[in-house]
Amino acid sequence: MKPIVIIGAGMAGFTVARELRKLDKEIPLVILTSDAGGFYSKPMLSNAFAQNKHAAQLITQSAEQMAAQLNATILAATHVQGVDTASRSIAIDGTAIEYEKLVLAVGAQPIRLAIDGDGADQVQSVNHVSDYARFRDLVALPKHGTSARVTILGAGLIGCEFADDLRGAGHAVTLVDPSALPLAALAAPALSRGLLAALTARGIVLHLSTTATRIDRQGENLQVTLANGVTFDTDIILSAVGLRPDLSIATQAGLATGRGILIDASGQTSAADVYAVGDCAEYIVDAQGGTRILPYIAPLMTAARAIARTLTGTPTTIDIKDAPVIVKTPSYPIALVPPPLQAQAGGAWRDEEVDGRTICRFYDAAGILAGFCVAPQDAAIRSALMAALGSAAVATTPSVAATTATAAASTAG
Ligand SMILES: Cc1cc2nc3c(=O)[nH]c(=O)nc-3n(C[C@H](O)[C@H](O)[C@H](O)COP(=O)(O)OP(=O)(O)OC[C@H]3O[C@@H](n4cnc5c(N)ncnc54)[C@H](O)[C@@H]3O)c2cc1C
């Protein structure tokens, strides 16, 4: 019997494998991955400096342990060059592996910025535990002493998390972003302002409404030139400007793609018995067939569960639900559900201060709660706000009850 093959040993690939094994302990399973095949929780990467964690400490199970646990063959350090969906075979270094069913869980690749200067090739990015190992070694070079100067390009979710984490570990951090506020694409302006104040109070320098145009080597230093004319020296530059779904295998195999690999409601790509999940996939997110990439853990877990059921003979629809994004910035922890694009026209944020907490609710044009942000975030308030999504006024905890009622009244007025 040909195996089910999963390409990718990130959280998406391993979650499909785990869910599959809950349903079928024996079906042959092969996992192919270009990395070392160990399991780690990727969100830990942007929280590991302050905890003084080495890359090896983040890998909780080796490839061998995962293979034993999953009753699977894991071929690590194995880069897949292509897939032939007609013959159901996978090309690896001149050999071919046949599959019965295939899951693409190949993740995303960091976006590379076009920056001038002979230091532009020094820009780092951290999207895998091996990147973290390399970056950590650079930060720890003896010439930097106990405090390296780290410049982060991009003050989105990952950039802000790394900034707070590195600062927490005692490093000198500079953040650069084209927006006027950090986390501008995700958070309500009031919370972006709160985050800006918290990061600044922490000692992080922010250059906003500008971009890095040049990076030049100056002896031991890297000199950064911004579009607004400011120049400064730094030791290390980390790009956190975003990720792009890895479409290389999908494109070679002739699968339908948009921003990501397009999948139907059950996770199947345009080829029979080929599925995609995780950062590489573009999911159907509403009843009208709207699609979005969802580069977060919660959707990949939901999708992996459904795909595992489908793979084992029970066709199952992926039921993507709203899940809060937790911004792991200890100096100003935020939880948020960004309003969907279609809800944004005619809608508005309404901000409130409750018990030292800022709660921002986004009401769409019809006065329906379509998104929220809260900081400092708290599990009970987050749950209450989640429960209130989609309604004009729902009260589930005392403090949220008061604010929800006030916000709804002001919306009605
Ligand atoms: C620093 C950081 C912090 C984050 N924090 C959060 C958070 O707090 N909450 C949250 O919800 N999300 C967070 N995310 C996002 C979340 O971690 C990702 O959505 C998720 O881990 C993606 O998993 P994946 O398996 O799809 O991709 P990946 O982890 O990228 O795995 C892709 C796998 O495919 C393999 N591969 C790729 N191409 C090939 C090939 N040709 N041949 C063989 N193997 C191949 C790779 O080796 C790898 O094993 C964070 C992301 C980062 C970078």
Residue-wise pLDDT tens digits, 218-232: 999 999 999 999 999
pLDDT at 403: 46
Residues of the chain within CATH 3.50.50.60 domain(s) are 4-109+243-311, 112-239
pLDDT at 67: 98
Q: Compute CA 243 distance to the chain's CA centroid, rounded to the nearest angstrom.
A: 8
Cβ(232)–Cβ(223) under 8 Å?
yes
Q: Whose CA is nearest to atom 3 of ligand 1?
A: 43
Q: Is 165 in the pocket of ligand 1 (CB under 6 A)?
A: no
For 333-412, CATH gives: 3.30.390.120
pTM of the model: 0.93
402 exposure class (CB count in 10 Å sphere: 0-12, 13-18, 19+): middle
Q: Whose CA is nearest to atom 5 of ligand 1?
A: 43
Query: Quick count: other Cβ atoms within 10 Å of Cβ 48?
Result: 22
- Let me know the angle formed at the C-alpha of 328 by 324 and 334, rounded to the nearest 5 degrees: 50
Q: Does domain 4-109+243-311 have CATH number 3.40.640.10?
A: no
Q: Is the bond preceding residue 324 a cis peptide, omega within 30 degrees?
A: no
User: How close is the Cα of 282 to the center of ligand 1, in Å?
Assistant: 14
User: How close is the Cα of 252 to the center of ligand 1, in Å?
Assistant: 21
Query: Which atom from ligand 1 is nearest to the alpha carbon of 107?
Result: 27
Question: CA-CA distance, 295 to 300, in Å (whole number)?
Answer: 8
- Weakly modelled stretches of the chain, pLDDT under 70: 393-413
Residues of the chain within CATH 3.30.390.120 domain(s) are 333-412
CATH superfamily entry for domain 112-239 = FAD/NAD(P)-binding domain (3.50.50.60)
pLDDT at 300: 98
pLDDT at 410: 41
pLDDT at 393: 58
Q: What is the largest CA-CA distance in the chain?
A: 69
Q: Which residue has the tokens 């969100």?
A: 43
Q: Which of 42, 90, 283, 327, when mutated, tests ligand 1's pocket best, judged by the most ligand atoms within 8 Å of its CB?
A: 42
